[in-house]
Chains A and B, each alone.
Chain A
Amino acid sequence: MGVEALALHGLSIRLGGSQILHDITLNVPAGSFTCLLGPSGCGKTTLLRSIAGFAPPASGDIRLGARSISALPPEKRGTAMVFQSYALWPHMTVAGNLTYPLKLRGVARAERDARAERLLEMLGLSGFGPRKVGSLSGGQRQRVALGRALIIDPPILLLDEPLSNLDAAIRRNLRGELRRLQQRLGITTIMVTHDQEEALSMADTIVLMRAGKVVQVAAPQDLYARPADLDAGRFLGVDNMIAGRAGDPVAAATLGFRSMDARIHDTAPQDALVRHGTVLDCAYTGGGYHLQLESGAEVISAVSGVPVMPGSQVCVAVPATSLMAFGADQMLLPN
């Protein structure tokens, strides 16, 4: 099967009397890596499961390439999903897990074994074929689960928080590995994650979701620099949201910026947002210091290369290019 594009049109899902997804419309180009990003309970996993056929839509359509798959049972859709818990079959060996999808497709035994062998090599698991699944580490299980999904050469790969059960170091390694593998195979991939760093570092396109709706669809850089509204900004690490004043370089009801862009200055620089305040707290964070300062009724987080005594008066400035301007309706203002 070749690589195919996915299109969702007006997809709504109700589960147990409550509306989980509201009217989702989304186009995923063939060969792209798309992340569904959002806080827990925003419906991102339900969206992924509905593509795989495990959450029947109340309305709307799911199209894979030219065909509509929304009425098909999961086994007829041809999507390949990697589950958060890996969902390996404990009664089969590693090779058994890998070859079972091929067995279902009537592939001859010799061909099955040869393909499993090639795949194990590609995943760095040569010689693991006869092992029991229970004897593998988390990272190895994850690879086998990925291999099992890839062995059928699927038109689309669905990943449900595939790295969330792993240690931070293994997670970082697998992140790069997964991305390289995806680019090499050119397979259309949709990954669910609640980790913004993971989404930013892996995806071509990020779909930001909240309360069953799509809030924003953008490339990682755009999403990071220009979140669609205040909540999206907060979720993406914009930890300062302060009221705009006359004289600020950008006119807005609310100005957002990340604390790493807010620095302490002796004199107020040009073309920057400037606030004066009293230092409440100064904490060492490894590379520098993190400050909390009180400016009128607002508390601003900022960084500094040198320690600052709590209680001292300072001037904090944010370059105009790092500012995000939000209107009174909490939406990002156009540039």
Chain B
Amino acid sequence: MPTADASSSPLRGILPGLVLIFPALLAIALLYVVPLARSVVFAFVDADGGLTTAHLRTAVELYGRDVVFTVLVALASLMLISVVSIAIAGYLTLGATPWAVTALRWLYRWPLFIPFIVAGQTARNFLARNGLMNSLLIDSGLMDPATAQSLLDWRGLVLTFAWKQVPFVTLLLAGAMASVDRSTVEAARNMGAGRLRCLIEILLPQVRGTLLVGLILSLVTIMSVLSVPMMVIAGNPTMMTSMMAHRVTYYGDYAVANALGLFSYLITAVAAYAYLRMTLTQHNEGAR
């Protein structure tokens, strides 16, 4: 019928497009959106199906310290990651000793290819009271055996996360630094800036967006890794991932685990917001 044809023609125009993207949309919906929404919703649903904040209260009561601990460990790790990767990427970009730059370029990527569980295991061997690090320090006479202490606490977590994430952030950062117009660095040196000032005042401001991306992705990784806190830390407080796993494995208590997960979402959402705001500002500045 001619009338039916006329009314369905706009839909007909977009239908092939919809059909084409449907599998991708379905995959995103089934694999990401539904589980995420479910876990958020279930954090607020009680056994009878009514709305409740009891799970959230339990989570804060039992694991409030772990949430704070997680935030502090994540922040400390990100700080250490920033400092070390800026130093490495800076040396790769500005270093004046060709063989040292080449050696560093080869070495720094290794941890990228080591799984977190192995990193956790290695950290355990290295940082324990009788671990490799203390043995080396004592053997070389740099440390009194009586003062040897285990670093298998928040410090171990920070060091392990940093060890694992520094190569990744450095990879991003060194790439960004290499694409910065080299003459801006030369101009600064010509005007009297030493290498360190060039790195901090000229190079770094031009790649700060990339650094932020690296740190946000690292934050998400830190918030989701389970093996490292399980391997490195014995007691309380510990990372939220550890506690969520504990809640699910030993109590089958998905509701409180979901409530804990909510805090993870909130923390990463803050980071995502900061990132989006910064890219928008940069975009607007570029458009002006």
Q: Which residues of A contact B187 (CB under 8 A)?
A: 81, 83, 87-89, 148
Given A91-B206, A104-B197, does the pair A75, B192 have CB atoms closer than 8 Å?
Answer: yes
CB within 8 Å of A: which B179-233 residues? 181, 183-184, 186-194, 197, 201-202, 205-206
In the complex, the chain B residue whose C-beta lies closest to that of A160 is: B183
In the complex, the chain B residue whose C-beta lies closest to that of A49 is: B186
Interface 1/0 per residue, B81-109 and A, CB below 8 Å: 00000000000000000000000000000
Most-contacted residue by chain A among B188, B190, B205, B285 (CB, 10 A): B190
Q: Are A89 and B184 in contact (CB under 8 A)?
A: yes
Q: Are A52 and B190 in contact (CB under 8 A)?
A: yes
CB within 8 Å of B: which A82-102 residues? 83-85, 87-91, 100-101
Q: Which of A88, A89, A105 contacts B192 (CB 8 A)?
A: A105
Q: Are A74 and B190 in contact (CB under 8 A)?
A: yes
Q: Which residues of A contact B201 (CB under 8 A)?
A: 100
Q: Are A148 and B191 in contact (CB under 8 A)?
A: yes
Q: Which residues of A contact B191 (CB under 8 A)?
A: 75, 80, 100-101, 104, 148-149, 152
Interface 1/0 per residue, A114-158 and B, CB below 8 Å: 000000000000000000101100000000000011001000000
Q: Are A75 and B189 in contact (CB under 8 A)?
A: yes
Most-contacted residue by chain B among A89, A105, A135, A148 (CB, 10 A): A89
Q: Are B193 and A75 in contact (CB under 8 A)?
A: yes
Q: Which of B184, B193, B286 contacts A87 (CB 8 A)?
A: B184
- Could you pull out 10 A-B pairs where Cβ atoms are within 8 angstroms? A75-B189, A75-B194, A80-B190, A85-B183, A87-B181, A87-B183, A89-B188, A91-B205, A105-B192, A149-B191
Which A residues form the contact surface with B (CB < 8 A)? Answer: 52-54, 73-81, 83-85, 87-91, 100-101, 104-105, 132, 134-135, 148-149, 152
Inter-chain CA distance A89–B193, complex, in Å, is 13
- Min CB–CB distance B194 → chain A (angstroms): 6
Using C-beta atoms within 8 Å of the partner chain, give the interface range for chain B: 20 to 34
Inter-chain CA distance A54–B191, complex, in Å, is 13
Q: Which of B189, B193, B206 contacts A90 (CB 8 A)?
A: B206
Q: Are A104 and B184 in contact (CB under 8 A)?
A: no
Q: Which residues of A contact B202 (CB under 8 A)?
A: 89
Is B12 interfacial (CB 8 A cutoff)? Answer: no
Q: Which residues of B contact A80 (CB under 8 A)?
A: 190-191
Q: Are B189 and A132 in contact (CB under 8 A)?
A: no
In the complex, the chain B residue whose C-beta lies closest to that of A152 is: B191
Q: Are B206 and A54 in contact (CB under 8 A)?
A: no
Most-contacted residue by chain B among A83, A87, A135, A152 (CB, 10 A): A87
Instruction: Please list the 3 inter-chain residue pairs (A to B) with the smallest Cβ-Cβ separation, ordered nearest first.
Output: A87-B183, A87-B187, A101-B191
Q: Are B197 and A132 in contact (CB under 8 A)?
A: no
Q: Are B186 and A83 in contact (CB under 8 A)?
A: yes
Inter-chain CA distance A134–B205, complex, in Å, is 15
Q: Which residues of B contact A89 (CB under 8 A)?
A: 184, 187-188, 202
In the complex, the chain A residue whose C-beta lies closest to that of B207 is: A91
Is B38 interfacial (CB 8 A cutoff)? Answer: no
Q: Which residues of A contact B205 (CB under 8 A)?
A: 91
- Min CB–CB distance B203 → chain A (angstroms): 10
Is B283 interfacial (CB 8 A cutoff)? Answer: no
Most-contacted residue by chain B among A83, A88, A149 (CB, 10 A): A83
Q: Which residues of B contact A53 (CB under 8 A)?
A: 189-190
Q: Which residues of A contact B285 (CB under 8 A)?
A: 132, 134
Q: Are A90 and B190 in contact (CB under 8 A)?
A: no
